[in-house]
Amino acid sequence: MITITRNIAPALLASALLLALSSSPAFAQAAAAGSKPAATNLGPIDQNGDGKISQAEAQWVTAKSIAKIDANHDGMITAEELKAEEERLRNAERQRQLTLLDSNHDGKTTTAEFAQMDTERFKSMDRNHDGQLTPDELRPQGQ
């Protein structure tokens, strides 16, 4: 039996679902293209491909996450194991971000490629294309 405190279990489920969804091809392609992913492609978490995540599918993801976190497989998740998994996830996210910034796909992110991201972000926020960001442009669209 695996023992997890009540505070950690919901966080693990949310993290597991978020990780599974964000690592799916639909989300990766959407992130690269700057658009929203197709609502019906939930990737590998949607095991039966019905465009929905059932409780059984969510539990499957949680079980996989627990197996990764419980490094010594003793049925207990320690603070050290949780910290190690959080660090692994942070490192994976950093690498994913650097890969997205690597515009020439040479496996390296130059300072110019990094700066280009900020330039593109600025241009996308400057909705009236006047080279300045107003308070309205700094608010998310639709607010």
Please report, in tens digits, the pLDDT of each residue of the chain (143 residues total).
Answer: 444 444 455 555 555 555 555 554 544 444 455 555 455 678 888 888 898 999 999 999 999 999 999 999 999 999 999 999 999 999 999 999 888 889 899 988 899 998 998 899 899 999 999 999 999 998 887 76
> Quick one: pLDDT at residue 43?
85
Residues 111 and 79 in one domain: no
Q: What is the pTM of this model?
A: 0.49
Residues 16 and 29 in one domain: yes
Residues 121 and 91 in one domain: no
CA distance 110 to 12: 35
Residues 83 and 137 in one domain: no
Q: Which residues pair with 3 in a beta bridge?
A: 76
Number of compact structural domains in the chain: 2
Residues 70 and 140 in one domain: no
Residues 8 and 48 in one domain: yes
CA distance 97 to 32: 10
> Quick one: pLDDT at residue 41?
77
Residues 77 and 36 in one domain: yes
**Structural domain range at position 112:** 104-143
